[in-house]
Amino acid sequence: MNYLAHLHLGGSQPGELLGSLYGDFVKGPLQGRWPADIEAGIRLHRQIDVFTDSHPVVLQAKQRFPKERRRYAGILVDLFFDHCLAANWTDYADVPLDDFTTRVYRILHEEAELPGTLALIAPRMAAQDWLGSYREFAVMEQVVAGMSRRLSRPEGLVGGVTELERLYVPLQQDFEEFYPQLQAFAKGRAALDNP
């Protein structure tokens, strides 16, 4: 899953929200490097990634792409699923999307020491409303272009948005089948970490 889904699933407290994002920026063992609530969020992030990457519906979604695109299908599916979540936010969340994203951006702004690259991108994330903008499919072009710049072989994502557009309905159906299961998984894992 991508940023918005991780934040949505990570919990409502500031440390949980931070940890749910840190999971993309903090690698290796934790061992008390961060406060307990942030480390719990990082662990949940990692568990969500494992659950997602091995789930039959997600594997099916990746198989929808042509063979030559499959190496990058995981990236495209993650981004598309964030689009589905943002576009259908009220089906999955009680708080309006704009209120949720405003709170996340405030928490990021108030955190004095964000890890690594997150410290660099957090101001842009807020200024450009990365999380809220996912609701518009047209934004996928910019997001995929940004992702391709971070890859060693950026040509792998060329034409990716066209593929997403072609596969929109079946991928949306995959999301609708998968996301409630992911919500239940995340809720169960969080309960284990915070009894």
Provide the residue type at 54 as one letter. S
Residue 195 has pLDDT above 50, yes or no: no
What's this model's pTM, rounded to 2 decimal places? 0.91
Please write the tens of the pLDDT for every residue from 113-155.
888 888 888 999 999 999 999 999 988 888 887 777 776 676 7
pLDDT of residue 33: 83
Q: Catalogue the long-range contacts made by 87-90 (C-beta closer than 8 Å, 24 or more residues apart).
A: 87/134, 87/135, 87/137, 89/135
Residue 183 has pLDDT above 90, yes or no: yes
Residue 7 has pLDDT above 90, yes or no: yes
**Which residues does 34 contact at the CB level (< 8 Å), separation at least 6?**
19, 22, 26, 42
Mean pLDDT of 34-63: 93
CA dist 176 and 88 (Å) reads 10
